Structure 1
Amino acid sequence: MKLYPIESGNFKLDGGAMFGVVPKTIWNKTNPADQNNLIDMAARCLLIEDGNRLILIDTGMGNKQSDKFFGYYSLWGEHSLDKSLAAYGFHRDDVTDVFLTHLHFDHVGGAIQWNKDRTGYEPAFKNAHFWTNDNHWEWATKPNAREKASFLQENIIPMQESGQLKFISRPEGAFLEKSELGFGIFFVDGHTEKQMLPKLVHNGKTFVYVADLLPTAGHLPLPYVMGYDTRPLLTLDEKASFLNEAADNGYYLILEHDANQEVITVKHTEKGVRLNEVFKAEDILM
């Protein structure tokens, strides 16, 4: 059983939106903005090789949207999902399972691609099941006005139409029942309904892929909550509970969106839970 970091691409987002009510003079110290107030973001996925299963957690934005769409997100860098898979000797057809933390476009866009003649869409992982949960599926397919622009139907409905869609049960989250990974799931609702954060045990360490509960290390202070979150006060409580548990138990947190800090640990301080150590993903995962 092995874990691999998969870099699916880089983009930029508005720093103010990423930090909500926190003033730029504060968040700019950890996440410096460019002249357009945009900060660097990653789309860092995780690949799990476990027996005869090859599991990809999240997929990045993909490449099927229009130039105008991608222009809003200032894509940069040379990473791609296919190149990252190939670097470890894999192809997308080898993937047996795509675990989606949630169905916002920057997490699920790479799951679906154009068909050959560009008349419609098809799964980008033809041999994989796509895993979400029924509450979040209902939330995403009947979106509220606030999140509608993030739940693109072309990213979502083809998974169901292909017959490859699967739902994970709650609260136990039966997904890898007979695995050495000790796979567990934290369900959190502040960012969006029933976001799923995988918790893995590997080489005696506990890793949590924190997705949008903690998008970057700069978001560690509790009030640093994204303007994108649908229930920011709930995020506040969920972060407090999770970060205390992470500090108490020495969890390694895999950061999906931090362009510079890939895996971190946290510790208790007089100011609350703060950054402890920083690791390169390849050094600590593999």
Structure 2
Amino acid sequence: MKLYPIESGNFKLDGGAMFGVVPKTIWNKTNPADNNNLIDLAARCLLIEDGNRLILIDTGMGNKQSEKFFGFYSMWGDHNLDKSLAKHGFSRDDVTDVFMTHLHFDHCGGSVQWNKDKTGYEPAFKNAHFWTNENHWEWATKPNAREKASFLSENILPMQESGQLKFIKRPEAGFLEQSELGFGILFADGHTEKQMIPHINHKGKTIVFMADLLPTVGHIPLPYVMGYDTRPLLTIDEKAKFLNEAADRGYYLFLEHDAHNQIITVEHTEKGVRLKELHSFEDIL
């Protein structure tokens, strides 16, 4: 097995929305805001090369939305999905499976693209299966008012219409030891219904793709929960349980949204679980 970080693009969001009830004077120390109160974020995906399978976890925003749409998110830097795949010797057509932690636009927008004459949409990975779970699919295709702006039908429905959509079989408990894709999955409901957090065993290490359970290093303290979460108190419980386990077991946490830190470890302290070390991808591989 080989792992590759895939940088699909950087953007910005309101710092207050990213930290909920936490005052700016506190979160600004770890995630400094610009003059518009926006903080740097990434859409960092993960590519897993395992035998005949090439699995991409999340796909970023994609490029099919309007200039006005992207203007809301202050895109910055020169990263994109195709360039990052090519850096490691791959193209979209090589990808066999696209695993989506959840179907918010910044996680799955790159899964679907315009067709040639821009009359409709088609899968951006023509040889891949797209993986979600039935509960989350139902949640995303019949969205509540709170999340409706994040679940865009053009990002979601073409995967089903193409016949390339598959569902992960979810266990009764919150953790699936071995999924159809070969890695474990934690199901979490605080941010959105049945978000999936992959746990990948690689060279004796457990690498956890954090998605929106832990967006950035600055979100480690338990009350530091995004305003976007649908069930913030549940997020706190889920994060507490996970971070204690991560500290106990020495997990390496792959941060999807932290623009300046790729991977971290955590440890127990008198103040609770806190950052232990920052790592680059090269450090742990």
- Which position in structure 2 is the counterpart of 1:140? 140
Using the alignment, how far apart are the partners of 1:277 and 1:92 within structure 2?
33
Q: What residue in structure 2 maps to residue 108 of structure 1?
A: 108
Aligned to 1:282: 282
Is the CA contact 1:102–1:136 (under 8 Å) kept in the aligned structure 2?
Answer: yes
> Which secondary structure state, in structure 2, belongs to the residue aligned with residue 82 of structure 1?
helix
1:201-216 mapped onto 2 (5 Å cutoff):
201-216=201-216
Match of 1:175 among 174, 179, 187: 179
Q: Which residue of 2 aligns with 1:10?
A: 10
RMSD between aligned residues: 0.9
Q: By how many angstroms is 1:93 displaced?
A: 0.3
Q: CA deviation at 1:174?
A: 5.2
Aligned residue in 1 for 2:94: 94
Q: What residue is the counterpart of 1:63 in the other structure?
A: 63
1:11–1:41 Cα contact (<8 Å) kept:
yes
**How far apart are 1:115 and its partner, in Å?**
0.1
Q: Do 2:168 and 2:180's aligned partners in 1 also have CA atoms closer than 8 Å?
A: no
Cα distance in 1, alignment partners of residues 13 and 54 from structure 2: 31
Task: Go from structure 1 to structure 2 and tell me whether the alpha carbon gap of 1:119 and 1:173 turns closer, same or farther (over 3 Å shift).
Answer: farther
User: Identity across aligned pairs (percent)?
Assistant: 81
Deviation of residue 283 (structure 1)? 3.0
Name the counterpart of 2:272. 272
In structure 2, C-alpha distance between the alignment counterparts of 1:248 and 1:275, rounded to whole Å: 13
Gaps of 5+ in 2: none
* Code of the aligned partner of 2:52: N
Residues in 2 aligned to 1:35 and 1:14: alpha-carbon distance in whole angstroms: 11
Superposed displacement of residue 170, structure 1: 1.1
1:46 corresponds in structure 2 to 46
> SS state of the match for residue 102, structure 1?
coil
- Supply the distance in 1 between the matched residues of 2:43 and 2:282 (Cα, whole angstroms): 16
Match of 1:263 in 2: 263
1:200 aligns with 2:200: yes
Q: What letter corresponds to residue 71 of structure 1 in structure 2?
A: G
Give the CA deviation at 1:175.
Answer: 3.0
Q: In the aligned structure 1, how far is the partner of 2:271 from the partner of 2:283? A: 29
- Contact residue 123 and residue 159 of structure 1 kept, 8 A: yes
Following superposition, the deviation at residue 176 of structure 1 comes to 3.9
The aligned runs of 1:106-255 (5 Å cut-off) are: 106-171=106-171, 172=176, 175-176=179-180, 179=182, 183-255=183-255
Give the drift of 1:269. 0.3
Partner in structure 1 of residue 36 of structure 2: 36
Which runs of no fewer than 5 residues in structure 1 stay unpaired?
Answer: none
SS in 2 for 1:83: helix
Cα offset for 1:53?
0.1
